[in-house]
A = this chain, B = another copy of it.
Amino acid sequence: MYQERIRRPELLSRVMSADEAAALIKNKMVVGSSGFTKAGDSKAVLQALGQRAKTQELQISLITGASLGHNTDGNLANAHLLSRRMPFQADPILRDSINKGEVLFIDQHLGETAELLNNKHLPEVDIAVLEATLINEDGSLVLTTSVGNSAVFAALAKQIIVEINTIIPVELAGIHDIFYAGNYPHRQILPVLEPHTRIGTTALPLDPDKIVAIVITHERDSPAQIVAPDEKTSAIAGHLLEFFNYEVKKGRLTTSLLPLQAGIGKVANAVLNGFTNGDFHDLTMYSEVLQDSTFDLMDAGKMTFASASSITISSECYDRVVNNIGQYKDRLVLRPQNISNAAEIIRRLGIIAINTAIEFDIYGNVNSTHINGTNMMNGIGGSGDFARNAYLSIFVCQSASKGNSISHVLPMVSHTDHTEHDVDILVTDNGLADLRGLAPRERAKVIIDNCAHPEYRDEFRSYFKAACARGGHTPHILEEAFTWHNRFRQHKDMRIKQEAI
């Protein structure tokens, strides 16, 4: 069966087992692997490599699109295979290794990894492991449910291992759009003018001589876990929908809005689901990941087109979409992540970017990555690519969590991923703060009033008042700015004040 997916006959002889292919990856190599938010990742070779690392001295630098499925990152961390990992991960075991300093993690804007590789600002990629639907006669690859960084890996890697995943319907061919902008000093324009603009080829061109192994798999992507909206996510979605209605009323947006980007997670899903009802229509997405909500909106007749770098959906949605791709194909395009996340296109299209914060502060700075200023959660992902250049940059999170022992609004963020300059709108279950055109002291008032959990509001006001008395454009009392974080570290509750000794 797989033979019909290898349309360049000379390559048939390069089919081998995952173990044999993994043996081509040597100690200290830099490996570039497909996979973006669990979609289109290596199903066999990286796992086999992890097995081998249990008995052999073997460490690699692993670069991917974004996070991997199938606990691959966790298994590789457990096997102590990873010396370096970039640009993103979302695995609890790997996260623990990173925070212990065992794995050197380089947290990058997802749109920039390909740039850094092209510019040789990162070590050369020795070998690429790329999932594909099929190999064309000319050696080019039809990718699967993500594009990620596969195009740059294919261009730069000395050797390529292809995983042909026969569970992916061949009808998927046609949804990808692969484009190289060229190298300095002669870079091309990225001529995407609308979310549906195609600028490249449907297959990933590569030199077939670089293909050193082909491994056959038959396994689905790890499914996305869809969490039903709860009271808090519904409240956040409600505030945002009210805001969009207000913008329409003011004439700044139409009821088709502008192309949407939404980070992964339950809040984004809740917000997008909110568009199913109401007057919004002819919506589009220009995002990095498409989740269930995208296809729900298409099925509801509310969304006309979606562009991204990956499709990460639940099992139910997979059946409906991937196994029925003909019905969606003309409304979808998957692009390399340096195109889906390109500043140039994000600014030109005027994206409405909705991303999740871990915490934000009273002046509008956002922490997307670090717990208590030190421990990596997942990584910045594409949030910075979108927030900086969006038409509207929106960050959402709950006002407080764990029985309100953690406030997600803080006097000062313990790590900054998005500065005050790049944040327009903040939303919690408590309310929405519109920061456009406000100076820091004005922002503090509206964030405390609208976004902070009421249980923390009095202490915020005391802090802000005392800070203003001391003066400054952005008033702070530096020696107290992290008091709440410190309380949490000591007492697991930001409300418990230090007792006098």
Report which A residues bind B (CB closer than 8 A): 84, 98-101, 104-109, 112, 115-116, 119-123, 181, 184-185, 187-189, 191, 193-194, 250, 252, 258, 342-344, 347-350, 365, 370, 372-376, 380, 384, 388-389, 391, 414-421, 424, 436-439, 441-442, 467-468, 470-476, 478-479, 481-482, 485-486, 489
Contacts and interface: CB of A to CB of B under 8 A. Distances in A.
Given A99-B471, A372-B478, A373-B474, A184 B258 contact: yes
Contacts of A184: 258, 349-350, 391
Contact of A108 (B252, B372, B421, B485): B421
Given A343-B344, A476-B374, A349 B415 contact: no
A196 B469 CA distance: 50
A344 B438 CA distance: 26
Contact of A474 (B189, B342, B376, B421): B376
B471 A375 contact: yes
A468 B374 CA distance: 10
B189 A437 contact: no
A474 B415 contact: yes
A370 B474 CA distance: 8
Main secondary structure of the interface of A (DSSP, over half): loop
A281 B470 CA distance: 51
Contacts of A436: 116, 121-122
A261 B38 CA distance: 39
A189 B474 CA distance: 37
B439 A105 contact: yes
A417 B421 contact: yes
Contact of A417 (B121, B348, B419): B419
Contacts of A116: 436-437
A164 to B, nearest CB: 32
B252 A473 contact: no
B437 A471 contact: no
8 contacts: A105-B439, A107-B420, A184-B391, A189-B193, A372-B472, A373-B481, A380-B421, A478-B482
Contact of A374 (B123, B188, B472): B472
Contact of A437 (B123, B380, B479): B123
Give the number of copies in the complex: 2
Contact of A104 (B414, B441, B479): B441
A391 B185 CA distance: 11
A109 B187 CA distance: 25
Nearest to A442: B104
B388 A343 contact: yes
Given A107-B420, A116-B436, A481-B482, 16 more contacts: A99-B473, A101-B471, A106-B437, A112-B421, A120-B252, A122-B436, A184-B349, A187-B349, A343-B344, A344-B348, A373-B478, A374-B475, A376-B472, A478-B482, A479-B482, A479-B486
Given A372-B478, A421-B107, A476-B373, A441 B101 contact: yes
A304 to B, nearest CB: 13
A36 B134 CA distance: 55
Contacts of A470: 374
Contacts of A106: 437-439
Determine which residue in A191, A193, A474, A486 has the highest number of CB atoms from chain B within 10 A of its CB, and name it.
A474
Given A471-B375, A473-B374, A473-B376, A437 B187 contact: no
Nearest to A123: B437
B121 A350 contact: no
Contact of A389 (B100, B343, B391): B343
B252 A119 contact: yes
Nearest to A485: B478
Contacts of A349: 184-185, 187
A101 B468 contact: yes
B374 A98 contact: no
A347 B108 CA distance: 16
Contact of A489 (B98, B416, B478, B485): B478
A475 to B, nearest CB: 6
Among all A-B residue pairs, the 6 with the closest Cβ atoms: A374-B472, A376-B473, A416-B416, A104-B439, A344-B344, A343-B343
A388 B341 CA distance: 13
A388 B388 contact: yes
A473 B102 CA distance: 10
A479 B488 CA distance: 12
